[in-house]
Amino acid sequence: MSFDYDLFVIGGGSGGVRAARVASATGAKVALAEEYRMGGTCVIRGCVPKKLMVFASSYEEQMHDAASYGWDVKIGKFEWSGFRKKMHTELDRLEGIYRKLLDGSDVMIYDSRAVLDDPHTVKLADGTKITAKHILVATGGHPVRPSLANADLGLVSNDIFLMEELPKDVLIVGGGYIACEFACILHGLGVNVSMYVRGAGLLRGFDEEACGLISEAMQSRGINIHTGTTIVEMAPAADIDIASDSKTTMGAPVDVARDLAENPKSDTDPEAAGPIWVKGSNGTEQVFQHVIFATGRAANTDGLGLEAAGVKLGRGGAIDVDEYSQTAVPSIFAIGDVTDRVQLTPVAIREAMAFVDTVFNGKPTKVDHDLIPSAVFTQPEMGTVGLTEEQASEQEEVEIYCTSFRPMQSAFAERPDRVLMKLVVSKANRTVLGCHIVADGAGEMIQLAAIAIKMGATKEDFDRTVAVHPTMSEELVTMKEPVRTA
């Protein structure tokens, strides 16, 4: 049977673009369809704009530190509009680079939504049908709102980058890394931030000791964290009698909240309906300019024709794939967040490379999801790779090497911030099972530590490494005695 293309990729994010380019380099005839903007979540509405906001939010604290170091610094006001314009200019530039990379790789681009028509056919939005020997679905995921009346009044992470003005206060619902990162970002930009966290603490699934230090740092900076708390009700503040003395308004004083309710503004975002009244499970009733939901993500599989083509979907609508990223239909593969394996851009890119090796290079390659390093860009950051203390202790007896201290730079500036360096070590064979760092620049440090841990380094390998002094990271190779076993 003759096909229009050897490979048709649905989705122009990091994984899809990488797969298309590398497959084309093997001599395959490749096409790619993207219905929105090239670059996907990471470039357009995720990693890149978020990291730019992380940088922007850190400068006020740096200027305070500069004053402690003798600089005559005058701290002005952050101007969101100028930063926002420059940020979107940068995103436009990066999208252009993605398009040039595809053009230079002889990949045919369709700026259109594409859905499956059968195991070898996709249909574009205009009705055009295109056949391909192989189809790769790389449509990513999207943030979801909870099943709550009036949840549409709240924003999700995608909306934050589009706000025309910064709000005076926000409520962030959720305690995962997206919630924590945006809490730190917005607070650093001058927004009064409160958080509702359903669980007992932040960053469930990460090392509990490291998470505790981050939680303390966030609260010491002025972020109001309410654990064990969810939203019971929410509504436009204009629809609620907020004058009652029985109500408290933590997001805004009563008189300010009343003024907001009587004079609502909706110019920060087209989906925002002005100030929002929130009733929490902790009994408080508050008014916020914005409520931001960071309560989970779901795969972009709705309406793609997957099940009709025979593709099986799992939890949350994610595509079920085997260890080679192949679906139940032999001609259809899927990579990235749409498979809900590990939702990280570098993982999607690795999955793309393994897919091309398997299908076009004749080298069946399983995707390696073991010992993936990651970073949480809170303030301070957390870098992590391998098992947490809790995970490791469930498998075997481990020794914990850990130290927490005030680093030289912040101590001199008379800031209370502490850092944490932690190694989780197998007692049986001395292999380092996990490394967890809480410190400025932890994301940079963990990348290098991950190389050693991926290679199977032991605690003695770390001990034999000469320290770089004076640095925070030298503590990783100078901790001689365990603080406890678990």
- Active-site residue numbers? 469
Q: Answer whether the bond into residue 470 is a cis peptide, omega within 30°.
A: yes
Q: Give the total residue count for the chain.
A: 486
Query: Rounded to the nearest 10 degrees, how much is the dihedral formed by the CA atoms of 424, 425, 426, 432?
Result: 100
| Closest among 442, 423, 297, 295 to 376, alpha carbons compared | 442
Burial class (CB in 10 A: 0-12, 13-18, 19+), 302: exposed
Q: For residues 452-485, b (16+ Cβ closer than 10 Å) or e, as one string? A: bbeeebebebbeeeeeeeeebbebbbebeebeee
Residue 277: closest CA among 318, 244, 321: 244
Which amino acid, residue 457? Answer: A
- Please say whether the dihedral angle defined by the alpha carbons of residues 129, 131, 132 and 137, taken in this order, is positive or negative: positive
Q: Under a CB-based contact definition with an 8 Å cutoff, are residues 430 and 458 in contact? A: yes
**DSSP H or E segment with residue 157:** helix 157-160
Tell me if 32 sits within 8 A of 110, measured CB to CB. yes
Q: Which of 135, 139, 136, 137 is nearest to 3 (CA)?
A: 135
| The amino acid at 73 | V
The CA dihedral of 97, 20, 136, 34, to the nearest 10 degrees, is 30
Q: Where are the beta strands (DSSP E) in 30-139?
A: 30-33, 108-110, 114-118, 121-124, 129-137
Cβ proximity of 203 and 177 under 8 Å: yes
The secondary structure of 415-459 as a DSSP string is ----EEEEEEEETTT-BEEEEEEESTTHHHHHHHHHHHHHTT-BH
Token pair belonging to 451: 């190389």
Say how far residue 143 (Cα) sits from the centre of its chain.
Answer: 11
